[in-house]
Structure 1
């Protein structure tokens, strides 16, 4: 009998690996363990140095430059996937960015250019990724698109600012794309982890307080780990999750249900 999470023969794209502690690292580990072949991306040569330990440890052969503010790099990444595999079964979108002043300041003070940049990198890049993935997933007979979101999309989280707006739009995009792509057997979901310390989280003011609150107030009194996120994501992209689409799936020890 095959294991519930079996990704044997599947090809996946994973973005957002920054170092060993990244959410995407946990996702990559779970997918490799389940038998998937992966393509991973890096933003620039400086960031590539930080992901090399993960690449070597997991034995990943396909590593591509992809800076979503440079459309040609996304096009080349998907062209590389097509040349190497001729299909794509799943893609993980795990990236977000906002200027420091816009992230730490009031939403009403957000600059127009800062808002546009945050939405472009954090939200519309998922839409662009889906557009590029669609023909390769059709070749595979279907596929799964996953993005990473956060509770700040629906509740006011201190010091999360404009990123809360980006995540709300990201979750709306997830629902609309799930509806549009479902007829092609392409599923679209969002995973919403509880707070955990990553390089991205380090830019949020008083993030230690947020993690302490999660431990204290969540029903299971625990912090999520990259491995927990990886396990849920691997399930969603596997055949076991074949009829799960359009949802926001929490992995946060139940923190999201507490008022």
Structure 2
């Protein structure tokens, strides 16, 4: 049995779309350590997909949260405040870019597409941090998901490279702003994983194969690996860590 290192903690997990989602791997790991999980969904269709997962994880607050809708995220935090009066962990695992911008050249990206990608994939994490701050009465941990394409050119990653670079930089500034309140902030950077979001990237299967071949361990992470690392970053043993980008990619990030 996993040690209950997060017993009594309340964890909000954004981004679970199905049982292959990275966010689901994180939610499982947090729950295994005793955390209470709050798991919103983006659409009613998503709610149907994750219904068995809500039951599995014992989720008591499951409500719609679309970060592009005014007041949607705020309503989730209001519900957390009313039921639990606190929040200890916030996990942000959402990203989006219009397909035409995701698959195009950087020089051809539309202003509207860039703004939308930045809002959903980066600024929503900043908003999440702002809403979490008053509820993290005893400190806490905020996590978001990034990718190596933030610092090196991955040809098929397109617009998301600059967006994830902005996200990782935001992590560092949030860690600085929130550090005095003992709120720690990290980015977790998995290698490519077969998820619904990943399938939107061009030539994704080839990217997975190339990454696995390049990795010193000759294998990539899965959602459970990401969950284990994420849980560690929320545990007491990582209390002196903040502002980091934690790679979970079999070592691919160290290769030229």
Give the structure 2 partner of residue 180 of structure 1. 177
Q: Which secondary structure state, in structure 2, belongs to the residue aligned with residue 60 of structure 1?
A: coil
Provide structure 1 residue ranges, at least 5 long, that are not aligned to the other structure. Answer: none
Verify: 1:195 aligned to 2:212, yes or no: no
Q: CA deviation at 1:64?
A: 1.9
Distance in 2 (alpha carbons) for counterparts of 1:163 and 1:154: 11
Aligned residues of 1:5 and 1:235 also touching (Cα < 8 A): no
Map 1:140-159 to 2 at 5 A: 140-159=137-156
Q: CA deviation at 1:61?
A: 1.9
Counterpart check, 1:94 vs 2:93:
yes
SS at match of 2:246: strand
Q: Name the residue aligned to 2:74.
A: 75
Residues of 2 paired with 1:217 and 1:177: CA distance?
A: 32
**Greater shift in the superposed pair: 84-93 or 236-245:** 236-245
Runs of 4+ more than 4 Å apart:
none
SS at match of 1:244: coil
Work out whether residues 4 and 32 of structure 2, in 8 Å CA contact, stay in contact via their aligned partners in 1. no
Moved more, 44-53 or 6-15: 44-53
- Measure how far apart 1:33 and its partner are: 0.4
Deviation at 1:5, TM superposition (A): 6.7
Instruction: Note the C-alpha offset of 1:4.
Output: 6.8
Shift, 1:59, TM fit? 2.2
Tell me if the contact between 1:193 and 1:229 (Cα under 8 Å) persists in the aligned partners.
yes
CA offset at residue 251 of structure 1? 0.5
Question: What is the CA–CA distance in structure 2 between the aligned matches of 1:47 and 1:122, rounded to whole Å?
Answer: 18
- Measured in 2, the distance between the counterparts of 1:4 and 1:254 equals 27
User: Gaps (5+ residues) in structure 2?
Assistant: none
CA shift digits 1:95-154 (9 cap, x unpaired): 0000000000000000000000000000000000000000001xx310110000000000
Q: How does 1:236-255 map to 2 (within 5 A)?
A: 236-255=233-252
Give the equivalent residue in structure 2 for 1:118: 117
What TM-score do the two structures reach when normalised by structure 1? 0.97
Deviation digits for residues 23-63 of structure 1, max 9, x if unmatched? 01100110110000010111111111111121122222221
The count of aligned residue pairs is 256
